[in-house]
Amino acid sequence: MSERPIALITGGSRGVGAAIARALAPTHDLLVGGRESTALLSICEELGARPWPVELTDERAVTEAVAGIERLDVLVHSAGVARLGPIADLPVQAWRESFAVNVTAVAGLTRLLLPALRAARGHVVLINSGSGQRASPRWAAYAASKFALRAFADALRLEEEALRVTTVYPGRVDTDMQRAVRALEGGDYEPERYLAPSSVARVVVGAVTATADAHITEITIRPAAGPVD
């Protein structure tokens, strides 16, 4: 059996999650989460990782998928959705989906994995957003879910003192989700103005590999190019 630490990364088939998987692969045995897809199988083959194809909002499926995970050193919550629009126009379903994926699924998976995390005195990393620190017009549902995610992380940190809990607040990142967001906003897509996914991954690795005397609780990272209109 491998003596390397074990990491589970949700949303790991693309974007920030995939970058984190690549950054942790040299030092960790990986479970890479995502919807069953060619992209998920491809990155697992690339990294020698085990695919973990689970619909995170399906409580029964998640419960079955975590069975057998007895020790977990790192849990990275990178999966998420962004449902944008003015409060006056945004349907209730958009709010429900935002909280189901961005908050409830995170809380449910973490709860199920707490015994494995405790066994390893593990580390929970939550990929939040600048929207988890401030709200903007048309971003109400997403921001509210990310503020809730911040509260969850803060409470988890206080309740589970043996664990490390790190919240990462990236600015805009060059991902497929960002392309979709810019299309909804009607703005130009300028990847050079955004963070590279690998830049976010690097700060995650820094938190995970911090020395035993250092608990990195929050990290804010913004594109050097400045705010995007």
Q: Which CATH class is domain 6-221?
A: alpha beta
List the domain boundaries for the chain.
6-221
**Could you give the CA distance from residue 202 to residue 198 in angstroms, rounded to a whole number?**
6
**Strand ranges (E), the chain:** 6-9, 29-34, 50-53, 74-77, 123-127, 164-170, 218-221
pLDDT tens series, the chain, 229 aa:
468 999 999 999 999 999 999 999 999 999 999 988 999 999 999 999 999 999 999 999 999 999 999 999 999 999 999 999 999 999 999 999 999 999 999 999 999 999 999 999 999 999 999 999 999 999 999 999 999 999 999 999 999 999 999 999 999 998 888 888 888 777 888 888 899 999 999 999 999 999 999 999 999 999 998 776 5
Q: At what angle do helices 140-159 and 105-120 cross, to 10 degrees?
A: 30
214: left (phi over 0), alpha (psi -120 to 50) or beta: beta
Q: What angle do CA 172, 181, 84 make, to 5 degrees?
A: 110
What is the set of active-site residues?
142
